[in-house]
Structure formats: structure tokens, C-alpha cells
Amino acid sequence: MNTKALLRSSTVMAIGTIVSRITGLARGLLLVAVLGTTLLGDTFNVANTMPNILYNLIIGGALTAVFVPQIVRATREEDGGSLFISRLITATSVFLGLLVLLATIFAPLLVRIFATSYVGHPAFHVTTLFMRFCLPQIFFMGIFALLSQVANAKDRFGPMMWAPVLNNLIAIVVFGWYYSKELSNTVETIPTSEIAALGIGTTLGYVAQAAVLIPVIRKTKIRIRPNFKWRDPELKKSIHLAKWTFIFAAISQLSYLITVNLSTSAAIKALESGITTGVGFTPYNNALLIFMLPHSIITISIVTALLPTLSKFAHENKPEEIHDQLVRAMRLVGIITVPSAIAFLAFGPLITKTLFFGISTADGNYLGYVLSAFALGLMPMSTNLIALRGLNAYENVKSQVLSNLIMNLVGVLISVIVAIVVPNKWVTVGLAAALSISYYIGAYVTIRLLKRYEIAIKIPEVVGFYLKLALLSAIVALPLFFVQSHIPGGNTLRLIEVLGICGVGYLVLAKFAKVEEVQNLLEVILKKRKS
């Protein structure tokens, strides 16, 4: 897959992802407006994050790292993969159903583990109720993920990127309805009926997200039927490999557990000391939402389009082809993530004050500082994900576990030091910085591990390319950083002007600097516009 072909494949997904992320951002903004950035917002965010944590911990990693290569191989069988995929989906559905049941029963225990500081506080009861309404999301996340990978194996990349839009729209309707009621609830006053409305409404979005892929799969001529004959050798292989993905995910979620505990503890301490500016998990989570936008739009799109090709080259034992594809992907991703990181770093407070309506200027500024801290990790996070997909192609989960372990140990160590040393007011900013630093370690380790397959990515070349892009971005952004407060108009107009000038200036400089990937991107965009 050459640069232009990769761009064309990923552009379709990127457009869907852009719409998805925009609606997802609107969803997040409404949630902040509805529940605020303090303790009540934290209770919902902790509860609504739990399905993602359990899903990623138990099975999410396996669906991407293990099942994709096997689904690709299965589609080459005479039946188009119908038998294997039916067995896989049946087994996964049963497992996810049992997981939801157990998680719902033990929801209070989960709150105790992930938000220890809530025990004995009204926030504990509210979080538990929210969680029980949100936990069924796990089942529909899994079904959506499997159906998406089946569609991808048949080169139907678009639907999985567009389906989350429906999910977000349903949540927007729910949060919008709640916002229109102009309620002023706290953890002490919010009634169970409103907790149920927010929780069930959010979960219904995931139901719709999975359901819209069913007609897409039917068009692929893959016939999925309940099949409980699970003694298939390929299915057993999947389960065996999934054990390692569980360890991989467990390491990540343990690190996340520590982050959630440290941030929620900071929120409780801040409240007790009279600090009302958004310290806690909610500012961390909302800044992360913005931070993930360029990663989700470009990196995920490119990686999703690339993985079937990587699996094919691995099967054919062509490490040089995999090397070229990975480097090409890293460079393509860089032309978006690098200027995005510079923009987040320079204009973090302006971005968050503009986007998050209904909160104070102080809360908006604080969110911006958290975003700026996250910005430092945008490039290595994307690079690490691309390098991991090289290991995915060889179904080498053990090496991924090693890389993830080292990365998260560094992240946890820095996070604990931050919680001890940094003043409570700045703990959330420090936690964001800790995550960013850990991704540099992760990217380095993963690239080194690829050498086992004779894939020798030259780190200085990748870093040198990123530094070149960073310099081009900084040339435009730095003057605007110093004069942003003097630009006429409100925050919205100021942000549009700043980002517009930065974007156009960056593209012009990149073209003059003969950055091939930028030129190819412009050609693909212009060609699509003409067509």
C-alpha cells in the first residue's frame, strides 16, 4: 500500500472519525455543562469509564491484537469465514453477557477499587448507581468491535467510523434534555430517576452503535449464526493468545486505576481545602477527550486501514515491506499530530475556554493546562500504536506485554511522585504530564522490539522528521502565542483566527520545505473535492 493509497483508505475513515469526534466533543461539552467539573461530574465519569476499563481489560485487546489477523485468514476460506466468525461471536457474546452480570452485582466493589476516596461519602452511592446503568455497555462494545473487524476484513472501513456518530447523537439528546431542565444537583441531591435517565440514555447509544453494523455484515455475504461448537483449533489459538492480551490490558488498567484514584483523591482533598477550580478526574478526562482528537482522526484511521496489509506481509514473511509501511504510517501521522501537539501546547487554555461552555474562566484555564501537559505525549503515543501494529501482524502479544509493562511502570512511578511532591492544585496537570512521558519510553521500547523481525526502524530519522514538522509549526504558532490575548473578538473568534492562521501557515511552510506527505495529502483532498 503506497502513500496515496494509504491516504485514500484512511481518508474515508478519517471523515467519519472527524464527525464522530466532533459529536463526541459536543457530547463531552454538554456533560460538563450538565454535571460540572467537580465531584458530581466525577461520579458519572468514573462510572461511565468503568465499562471501557473492564472491556479493555478482559477482551478489548484480544479483539484487536489477536482476532483481526485470524478473521483476515478466515475470510479466505470457502465459506468466507462464516463458520469461524459465527463461533467467535457466539463465544464472545456468552462471555460478555456473564461479565456484565458479574460486574453489575459487584459494582460497589468496583467503586471501592477505582475510587477509594469515595467510601463513606455520598459520591459512593451515586457512582454505584451510575455504574449499574452503564455496565451493559460492555456487551455492545464487544459486539461492535467484532462486527467492525469483520467489515474491515472485507475492506469496508467506513461504517465502523461512522457508527459512533449515532451513539454520540443519542447521548447528546439525553444530555441536552437534562440540560434544558436547568437542574442544580449535587451528589447529595441528585434523585435516582435522573441517574437512571443519564445512565440508560448513554447505554442506548452503544446499543444503536452495534446494531447499525448488522446490515453492513449481511452485505458481505458472511452468514453469522449462533454456533456453540467451540473446539475449533483456530478459536482455541485465539483464546490462548488472548491470555497475553489480558496481561497487556491488565497492566494498562492497573496504571489507569492508579490515575483514577490519585485524581479522585485530589478532588476530595481540593474540596475539603476550599479549592473549587476543577481538580480531579473530570478535568483529566475532558482534557484527554480533546487531546485524543487528532490521534483518533488520523492515527486510528491509518492504523485500521494498515493492519490487514501488515498481517498479509507477515504471513508472506516480508519484513522489509512491513518496515516501509510502518515508517510511511509514522510520517503520515506526524503531519497531523505534530502541529496539533504544538497547538495544544501553545493555546491549551484558549481551546478549553472556548469549547467548554458553562464553566468558569478559572476552570477553563485549568483544563487548558492539563491539555498542554497531554500535548507533550501526542507524537510518541501515535508512534507507539503504529509500532505495536507491527507486532500485531506477527501475533506477538508477549513483546507487546513487555513494552506496555515498561511504559506503565514509568508512568505509575512518575504519577506517584507527582501526587506526593506536587501541590494538590496541580496534581491533575502532573498526572497528564506523567502519561506523556511514559509514551516516549513505550515508543522507544516497541520500536526496539521490532528488530526481532528484522524490522529496523531508525529512530533518529523519525524523530528528525517530527522535529522538522515541529519547527515549521512553531514558526507560525510562537508569534501568535504572545499576541493571542490582544487579538480582537471573543474566545471563539480568537480561536478560529489563531488555528486558521496556524493551519494555513503550516501547510504553506511544509509545501515550501517539500514535505512529501503534506503534498500527497493535499493532492488526495483536492482530488476528492473535484470528484
pLDDT tens readout for residues 375-393: 999 999 999 999 988 887 8
In terms of average pLDDT, the best of 28-32, 98-102, 182-186 is 98-102
Is the predicted pLDDT of residue 56 greater than 80, yes or no? no
Domain that includes residue 357, residue range: 3-530
What are 415-432's pLDDT values in tens digits? 999 999 988 888 999 999
Q: Work out the pLDDT band at 477, boundaries 50, 70, 90.
A: very high
Residue 282's Cα: distance from chain center in Å? 16
Residue 285 CB partners (closer than 8 Å, separation 6+)? 45, 49
Residues composing the chain: 531
The per-residue pLDDT for 415 is 94
Four-residue CA torsion sign, 18, 141, 136, 284:
negative
Average pLDDT, the chain: 83
Count the Cβ atoms, other than its own, within 10 Å of residue 24. 21
Rounded to whole angstroms, the Cα distance separating 496 from 294 reads 17
Q: Work out the pLDDT band at 470, boundaries 50, 70, 90.
A: very high
The per-residue pLDDT for 423 is 86
Local structure of 185: helix, strand or coil = coil
Query: Which of the 8 DSSP states describes residue 453?
Result: G
Is the predicted pLDDT of residue 4 greater than 60, yes or no? no
How many Cα atoms occupy the beta-carbon half-sphere of 403 within 13 Å? Answer: 27
Count the Cβ atoms, other than its own, within 10 Å of residue 294. 21
Q: Mean pLDDT across the stretch 266-277?
A: 73
What phi, psi does 448 have (nearest 5°)? Answer: -65, -40
C-alpha grid cell, residue 226: 449462533
Nearest to 84 by CA among 245, 244, 230, 210: 230
Long-range contacts, 189-192 (Cβ 8 Å, 24+):
190/40, 190/126, 192/129
Q: Which is higher by pLDDT, 277 or 129?
A: 129
Q: Give how many domains the chain has, as a whole number.
A: 1
Is the predicted pLDDT of residue 54 greater than 60, yes or no? yes
C-alpha grid cell, residue 75: 475470510
Q: 466, 338 in Cβ contact below 8 A?
A: yes
Four-residue CA torsion sign, 322, 328, 331, 332:
negative
The per-residue pLDDT for 27 is 85
Q: Mean pLDDT across the stretch 345-373?
A: 88
C-alpha grid cell, residue 307: 493492519
What are 102-160's pLDDT values in tens digits? 999 999 999 998 788 888 888 899 999 999 999 999 999 988 988 887 887 776 766 77
What are 172-205's pLDDT values in tens digits? 999 888 888 766 777 888 889 989 999 999 999 9
The per-residue pLDDT for 511 is 86
Q: Which amino acid is at 458?
A: K
